[in-house]
């Protein structure tokens, strides 16, 4: 990790270096933070999130959604004591249900099983990401504890399906009720890894193996219309939806599956995209992030390169264990 931080310093990618340094306890983290806040894009996200909850939620995969942007701030190493973050967190937890789960305003039409009216609610394709962001930013309270425990109990067997709050009525995504939801399972694993990986180890491993089974049977199993074809295999950031980089990012944090043949196949899909001169170029982008180096498809992305380097580092740690 120290070598990766040094390389990032040389590249000038301060916001990434800050996240890596802070996570590893590097004493240079404070200096990185000061320089990172000189990046108007970072300040812009923090300022924008003061208007939480942001755009009306009509698509969980929309890169405009504030809960995805909050998770990005967490991913780059921001924390509750950084300028403006406390205010954003307070807004994000203002509306929570009795189980401590953060709520967002949603409007599900009657034709889809909803009420047709805007209501504060949650779904398993947003709540885990919001909770992951809050925890990673350094916020925990009794409500967070209740929320994680409750969502964990909503799994079916070794994975999670399409689960929503009572306020959304009978609405659910397009699929069989008994199917696993690949995306919900992915971000639930992400949440549990951030919250307490040791406490939930068996549940995490079981969920990881279920996702690997979906890869193994990707020609025949497409629960909730989540395919693992050409688009799934394109390198894309930030971590928002269901794609190979996001999946490998999470599974690489589960030591028990690092030598699984299906997992190694997914890792190879990523590594085979490395350029002859090193580095990686995004293959798919979110227009909301077009001002960032991972928001265009014409040049190497330092942020993408770091994410792959961190996956490689975890693989190397596993090899030494």
Q: What is the pLDDT of residue 318?
A: 62
d(CA 44, CA 88): 13
What are the phi and psi torsion angles at 171 (to 5°)?
Answer: -65, 145
3-state helix, strand, coil in the chain (%, to 5): 50, 5, 45
Q: Residue 185 half-sphere exposure, CB side, CA atoms within 13 Å?
A: 28
Q: Which two tokens stand for residue 137?
A: 């930013």
d(CA 104, CA 92): 9
Q: What is the pLDDT of residue 177?
A: 72
Sequence-distant (6+) residues with CB within 8 A of 162 are 123, 124, 125, 172, 173, 175, 177, 179, 181, 184, 224
Helix axes 66-75, 127-136, angle to 10 degrees: 30
Three-state secondary structure call for residue 259: coil
Whether the CB-CB separation of 91 and 52 falls below 8 Å is answered with yes
Sequence-distant (6+) residues with CB within 8 A of 103 are 95, 96, 97, 120, 121, 122, 165
| Beta strand pairing call for 104-106 and 119-121 | antiparallel
Q: What is the pLDDT of residue 264?
A: 97
Full pLDDT tens readout for the chain, 321 residues: 445 555 555 554 555 556 666 666 666 666 666 666 667 898 999 999 999 998 776 678 889 999 999 999 998 888 898 889 999 999 999 999 999 999 999 876 666 666 677 889 999 999 999 999 999 999 999 999 999 999 999 999 999 988 888 877 776 666 677 778 899 999 999 999 999 999 999 999 999 999 999 998 877 777 667 778 899 999 999 999 999 999 999 999 999 999 999 999 999 999 999 999 888 999 999 999 999 989 999 999 888 988 898 898 888 876 433
Q: Residue 165 half-sphere exposure, CB side, CA atoms within 13 Å?
A: 24
- What is the signed CA dihedral for 43, 48, 52, 56, rounded to 10 degrees? -140
| Degrees to nearest 5, angle at CA 170 with 148 and 125 | 40
83: left (phi over 0), alpha (psi -120 to 50) or beta: beta
Q: Which residues of 198-221 are buried (b: 16+ CB within 10 A; e: fewer)?
A: eebeebbbbbbbbbbebbeeeeeb
d(CA 8, CA 16): 7
Distances (CA, A) of 265 to 52, 268, 294: 39, 5, 24
**Any idea where the domains of the chain sit in the sequence?**
227-321
Query: Is the peptide bond preceding residue 272 cis, with omega within 30 degrees of 0?
Result: no
């Amino acid at each position: 990790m120290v070598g990766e931080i040094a390389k990032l310093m040389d590249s000038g990618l301060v916001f990434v270096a800050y996240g890596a340094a802070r996570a590893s306890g590097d004493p240079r983290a404070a200096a990185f933070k000061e320089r990172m806040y000189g990046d108007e894009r970072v300040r812009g996200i923090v300022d924008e999130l003061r208007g939480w909850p942001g755009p009306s939620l009509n698509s969980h995969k929309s890169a405009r959604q504030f809960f995805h942007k909050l998770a990005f701030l967490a991913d780059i190493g921001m924390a509750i004591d950084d300028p403006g973050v406390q205010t954003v967190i307070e807004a994000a937890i203002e509306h929570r249900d009795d189980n401590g789960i953060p709520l967002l305003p949603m409007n599900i039409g009657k034709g889809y099983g909803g009420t047709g009216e805007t209501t504060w609610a949650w779904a398993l394709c947003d709540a885990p990401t919001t909770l992951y962001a809050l925890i990673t930013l350094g916020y925990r309270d009794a409500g967070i504890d209740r929320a994680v425990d409750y969502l964990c109990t909503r799994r079916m067997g070794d994975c999670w399906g399409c689960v929503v709050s009572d306020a959304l009525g009978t609405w659910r995504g397009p699929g069989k009720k008994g199917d696993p939801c690949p995306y919900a399972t992915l971000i639930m694993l992400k949440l549990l890894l951030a919250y307490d990986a040791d406490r939930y180890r068996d549940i995490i491993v079981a969920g990881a193996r279920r996702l690997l089974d979906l890869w193994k049977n990707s020609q025949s199993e497409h629960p909730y219309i989540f395919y693992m074809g050409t688009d799934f295999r394109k390198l894309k950031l930030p971590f928002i939806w269901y794609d190979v980089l996001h999946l490998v990012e999470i599974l690489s944090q589960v030591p028990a599956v690092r030598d699984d043949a299906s997992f190694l196949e997914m890792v190879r899909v990523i590594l085979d995209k490395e350029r002859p001169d090193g580095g990686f170029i995004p293959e798919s982008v979110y227009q909301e992030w077009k001002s960032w180096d991972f928001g265009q498809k014409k040049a190497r992305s330092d942020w993408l390169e770091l994410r792959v380097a961190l996956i490689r580092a975890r693989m190397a740690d596993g090899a030494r264990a």
